[in-house]
Amino acid sequence: MSDLIVFSGLPGAGKSTLAEAYGDWLGVPVLSIDPVDRAMQAMGVTESRPGVTAYVVVEALAEEHLRRGRGVVVDAVNAVEVARQQWRDLADRTGAELRFVEVVCSDRALHRDRVEKRHAADPWKPDWAAVAGREFEPWADERTVVDSATASTADLLDRLAAG
């Protein structure tokens, strides 16, 4: 059975850093929404619901890996229930073992600093106003919650690796 590990959290929380480290540790691909979304925008692909198309593309890529018996890590905000349901449905279709990991940054000043630095270096990335104003629907799923403000990436990786 393949593993589908879905990392979730606000931009700047540390989810991409941890997802990439975990994918490397597992030896599985990490599929991130952001580069897909950015590539589509660069090609002039527009949509009525921003981000949805990128989620569907990443889902299709993940499904290809899972059907071949390979695990995959998904890196996405997953702020809404419909996005989370997409991964549940994928796990059901492929027989994959689904695990959600929510990455938070409990230190608001640190989180803001991360977001502002990323936005200054790359204006495509959201600014603090966009991140701070983003709604994040409550979770119904069991998930592992890790706080990037209280532990290093290596420590968080050790925690995830321990199960």
- Model-level pTM? 0.93
The pLDDT score that the predictor gives to residue 49 is: 62
Q: What is the pLDDT of residues 139-148, one digit of tens each?
A: 999 999 999 9
Tell me the per-residue pLDDT of 14-41, one tens digit each, with 9 for 90 and over. Answer: 999 999 999 999 999 999 999 998 888 8
Report whether pLDDT(65) > 70.
Answer: yes
- Topology of the domain covering 3-107+136-155: Rossmann fold (3.40.50)
Q: Are the CB atoms for 73 and 22 separated by under 8 Å?
A: yes
Q: CA of 82: how far to CAs of 110, 131, 134, 140, in Å?
A: 29, 19, 16, 12
User: What is the residue extent of each domain of the chain?
Assistant: 3-107+136-155
What are the tens digits of pLDDT across the range 89-131? 999 999 999 999 999 999 999 999 999 999 999 888 899 999 9
